[in-house]
Structures are given as C-alpha cells and as structure tokens.
Amino acid sequence: MKKIKFGLIGCGRISAKHFEAIAEIDNAEIVACADIVESKAKEAAEKYQINAYYKDYIEMLEKEKLNAVLICTPSGLHPQMGIEAAKRKIHVVTEKPMAIDLRSADQLVQACDENGVQLFVVKQNRLNPSIQLLRKAIEKGRFGKLFSANATVRWTRPQSYYDLAKWRGTWEFDGGAFMNQASHYFDLIRWMMGPVESKLP
C-alpha cells in the first residue's frame, strides 16, 4: 500500500498528538521531522522512530519526498511555513490558528490555491461529544432558525503557561487570547451558524 508521506515541523508540545495520530493511520507515515532546536528534532525522531530529522525545515522540504507537512510551530510562523510547502506542491496541515492576521492567512490560502494543494487547519474541538450533539441538533432544525450565537471562553492560562516558551503571549508569534484560545470558539460559532456573509470594509 502506498503511504502518504508527512513531514512534521516543530517538535514541541502539540507535536506528540500528531506523531501519535499519524501512527494510527495505516496509509500514512511521518518520514521526517524538523525543529530549529536540533536536539528536539533528534529526540522526537528517536522516540517515534522517524527516519530523518532536520534543524532547517526548508532542507527537509527540499530533500524529503513529502506529500504533506504538519505545522506545529509558534502560530505566527504557520503562514510562512505553509507557503514554503505549497510552493513545493506539498499539502499543508497546520495547527490552529492558521495565521495571526488576515493578510498572512489570505496569503497562505492563495499560495495553496495557486499550487493546487490542500490546506487543512486543526480544529479538533469540533469533535467534542457535546459539540457533535449540538451540531446534529442544529442540522435537524431542533432550534428553528438561528439568529444569534455567542461563546464564552472559560479557560485559564496561568503565568506558568506563558513562561513555557518565549513566543507565548507575544503579538508576533502567539497573537493573544483571541487568536490562540478563542479561535476554537470562533470556529465553532461559524461552523454552527454558517459562513460569514459580509465583513467590515
């Protein structure tokens, strides 16, 4: 069976979920990983039995015959890395948020469109049992026509979370609570209510 070959960029906290999830899929495998901190790439490669590891993700994109990349780096880097993959006809799976500003999000979408590759953004909260129930109820029309929705983010992120890495809490790489945490909820509202029809000029 021909396997879909993934490369993973950013061997930090969330990468474990990607290594473990891909390992469960018969026709997919992670063949290489990259991290700017080389020891993290090496450690991940050893732990998950990945063939090759790199310090420079561009080198990985160039040398490995990848079908897709998994982007698990600080959020502000997602568009640039996705664009580099798209330019090489490599499909893009990026952690949320896909970008921390509209301009770079649009640039990523455009690069994927122009190069005929798929772009997928991780939004795993759609699979939460309560969210699935709500979505099914809406689909069945249980609440009638929806006119309004709101969401409240009740998560706590103590100082120790922001101390985990330098990029956290920065505008450039994290984007703030709206981009980082509330983007899950914004996605859910959009998923339940339908696409945006107009926006402020």
Ligand X SMILES: NC(=O)c1ccc[n+]([C@@H]2O[C@H](COP(=O)([O-])OP(=O)(O)OC[C@H]3O[C@@H](n4cnc5c(N)ncnc54)[C@H](O)[C@@H]3O)[C@@H](O)[C@H]2O)c1
Contacting positions for ligand X (CB under 6 A): 9-14, 34-37, 40, 57, 72-75, 77, 95-96, 122, 124, 165, 180
By beta-carbon proximity to ligand X, the closer residue of 72 and 112 is: 72
CB nearer to ligand X: give 4 or 36: 36
Nearer to ligand X, 5 or 168 (CB): 168
To ligand X, the closest distance from the beta carbon of 167 in angstroms equals 6
Give residue number: closest CB to ligand X.
12
Shortest Å, Cβ 134 to ligand X: 19
- Check: CB of residue 118 under 8 Å from CB of residue 112: yes
Cα-based distances in Å from 9 to 91, 119, 126: 13, 15, 24
> Nearest approach, Cβ of 193 to ligand X (angstroms)?
21
Phi and psi at residue 132, in whole multiples of 5°?
A: -60, -40
Q: CB of residue 61 vs ligand X: minimum separation in angstroms?
A: 11
Q: Closer to ligand X at the Cβ: 79 or 192?
A: 79
Min CB(159)–ligand X separation in Å: 16
C-beta neighbour count of 143 within 10 angstroms: 10
- The nearer residue to ligand X, 4 or 182, going by C-beta atoms, is 182
Report residue 165 as tokens.
């890495």
Bridge partners (DSSP) listed for residue 68: 6, 91
Residue 89 CA: distances (Å) to CA of 6, 80, 102, 103:
13, 14, 23, 22
User: How big is the chain by its Cα radius of gyration, in Å?
Assistant: 18
Residue 114 Cα distances to 62, 79, 92, 119, 141, angstroms: 19, 15, 13, 12, 38
Q: Which amino acid is present at 2?
A: K
